[in-house]
Amino acid sequence: MNKKNFAFDKVNFILLAVGMFIVILGFILLSGSGSTETHYDPDVFSARRIKVAPVVCLIGFVSMIYAVIRKPKDNEINK
């Protein structure tokens, strides 16, 4: 099968995988124990959950958008 028929090349798939890993890492940073009616957990408002994790997720989503928009380069010489 001719590679010109594919919308993505190997680099696009690698960038998508890296972006998805960054998003998953951001959601892991967001996770943690929450407060209940009987116990207040001040870690809910930590800098990791409020500032760092959303920025990491945003970077991951932007990198995935770039991976989808990126056009593969043609390595063949036009004859």
pLDDT digits (tens, 9 = 90+) for 25-71: 999 999 987 778 888 888 888 899 999 999 999 999 999 999 999 98
Which pLDDT value is given to residue 39?
86
Q: Check pLDDT > 70 for residue 78.
A: no
Cβ contacts of residue 63 below 8 Å, gap of 6+? 15, 18, 19, 22
pTM score, whole prediction: 0.80
Contact 29, 53 (CB under 8 A): yes
Amino acid identity of residue 16, one-letter, is L
Question: Stretch 12-20: mean pLDDT, rounded?
Answer: 96
∠ CA 78-72-23, rounded to 5°: 175
Does residue 29 or residue 76 have the better pLDDT? 29
Does residue 4 or residue 35 have the better pLDDT? 35
Does residue 52 or residue 6 have the better pLDDT? 52
Q: Residue 53: left if φ>0, alpha if ψ -120 to 50, beta else—which one?
A: alpha
